[in-house]
Every structure is written in structure tokens, then in C-alpha cells.
Homo-oligomer: A and B are copies of this chain.
Amino acid sequence: MQAISTQTTYLESKIAALDFPQEPANLYDPLRYFMQLGGKRMRPMLTLMGSALFGKPAEKALHAALAVEIFHNFSLIHDDIMDEAPLRRKQPTVHTRWNTNIAILSGDVLLVKAYQEICKQDAAVLPELLAVFNQTAVEVCEGQQSDMDFEQQSDVSIAAYIEMIRLKTSVLLGCALEMGAIVAEASLTDRKLIYEFGQHIGIAFQIQDDILDLYADPEKFGKQVGGDVLANKKTLLYLKAKELANPAQLHELETLQSAKDPAEKVDGVRNLFDALQVKQEARKIMDLHYEIALKALAAIDVAEDRKKDLRELADYLLVREI
């Protein structure tokens, strides 16, 4: 993971060097603030790795990488408004620290900035970069809308749920990698394979996130255990439980939705999920996507040793014991 740590330092310095104007301060201060809140910078890292995989310097894809990170931050600023989230990375969200109007508008300008970064790449690859980026940006919006719609629906299928997380979070990982591959002038077949790798790693990661909410070691997890349960979120575990439950268990699950005591609620739901072996079922789906991802990576027509970093990253993202 030496390569990854070096690239993270490189990316952080380039993100810190992003040049936002001083005025209007209410438009650009929120962006300076938000872009520096940190995070794993996983998406731009994937773009750099996508270029390196095909034998070009990672730095060649820098502006595409920054575009992906900027886009991700745009979507977080707007999602935080929609989700009424007070905190992001333990700091106040933009609409909380400033206000909703400022969060809308600074998000908008950030999306345009993403396009400005893409346009710094070679003109020869611009149409292809924009094609995958535009398509992905549309899908991320569609995923966010489906996520909001699902909160109002009682009958969400598991297939629809997986499709929602694919759009909302996973396509951007595929896009990040493919943009690196485009810069490196990879073949269309290899581009599609690396996109598939990213997309399915993303789906697996998202399912893992659902599992960890309830089954993580609280000391390692760094988040409140059972947060999704307390918020009555329709996670994969919940949907799977609804699918497998008998009428009595279904009734219990519904009753637990309105349980008052937090510890009692989380324990009750966990006991029910355990009885239904919901974790194991979710784990199966997660493993399936992990395997599809690895198969796509294996099929890419480059020397095996070039794939080492991506394999390590996948293991790093998905190793947590659950």
C-alpha cells in the first residue's frame, strides 16, 4: 500500500491547491471549507490508478481525478441538504454552517468546476471523458432520487435496492477508473472491464456498509452501531428480513420500528436478523459482486503485476471482518 499512501499525499496537495476566487465569499468560502474536510479521496485515487494500470503516469489523469473528487463533493453538499444532515465528517454541513440557499448555489458552481477540471485534459480524449462523466452524473442523480422515493415506499424489492445503490454510489467508482483508462488510451474492452471492476467493488462496499452498521466492532467502526436501525432505514438487511420473515416475525419487525428505547430497539432488530440469518444472506450478495469485480480485473489485458495495487485496494476496502 506504499503506492497508495504516496498518491494520497499527492492528491491532498493538489486538492489544497484548487484555486477558488475570493469573491463572492458566500459562494466560495463554503467550497474551500468543504473540500478540505478530508475523506479517503478514494475516487480520485481510482482515476490515478486507472491511468497507471494501462502504463501511463498516474499524474497524467490528475485533472480527471480532481473532477471526480469535486463532483463527489458537489453531490455530498446537495445530498446533505436533502437528508437534513447536520454533520459531515464530524463538521457542520454547508447548509448548517451557512444556509440552504448558499449550499444550493455553491454546490452548483462546484459541479461546473468539475467540468472545468475535465477540460484541462487533452482535447483528444475530451469527448470520451465527458461521455462517461455525463452519464455517471445523471445516474448519481437518479440514484439519489430513488433513495428518497424508497423512503416513502413500503414495497422496495432487493433488486430495486441494489440498482439504487449501484446508481447512487457505485457508478462513480467505475467512472473514476474508466476516466483514468481513457486518459491512458486503453482499449474500449479494457475500459468497460475496469468500469465493471469499480462498479461491483462499489456495490460490495455499499452492502458491507449496511452490514457494518449493525455488526461492526464498535471500537473499530467509529460510528454509532445501529444508526440505520434507529433511523428505520431500508437497508439490504431490513429488506432481506422482510422477505424471509414469517407473519409473526414480520409483525415483530414492524413493532420494533416504533420502539422507544434505542438499545432495546437495536438488540431486538439484531436478534430478529440473526434468527433469519440475514447477515449471511447479505454477505452472499456482497461476495457475488466482489467476485464479479475480480473477474473483470482478471480479464483486463495488461500484465498481472500492474493489477497489484487495485487488488490491494479492493482487499483494503473489503477486508473488515464481518
Contacts and interface: CB of A to CB of B under 8 A. Distances in A.
Contact of A78 (B104, B127, B146): B104
A142 B82 contact: no
A145 interface: yes
A97 to B, nearest CB: 16
Interface stretch (A107-115, A245-253, A258-266, A311-319): A107-115
B101 A81 contact: yes
Q: What range describes how many residues of A lie at the interface?
A: 35 or more
Interface of A: 21, 23-24, 26-27, 78, 81-82, 100-102, 104-105, 107-109, 111-113, 115-116, 119, 123, 126-127, 130-131, 134, 137-138, 141-142, 144-146, 148-149
Counted per complex, copies of this chain come to 2
A82 B104 contact: yes
B26 A141 contact: no
A33 to B, nearest CB: 15
A92 B240 CA distance: 40
Contacts of A126: 123, 126-127, 130
A293 to B, nearest CB: 26
A111 B111 contact: yes
Given A21-B142, A78-B108, 8 more contacts: A24-B142, A26-B149, A102-B145, A105-B141, A105-B144, A109-B138, A109-B141, A116-B138
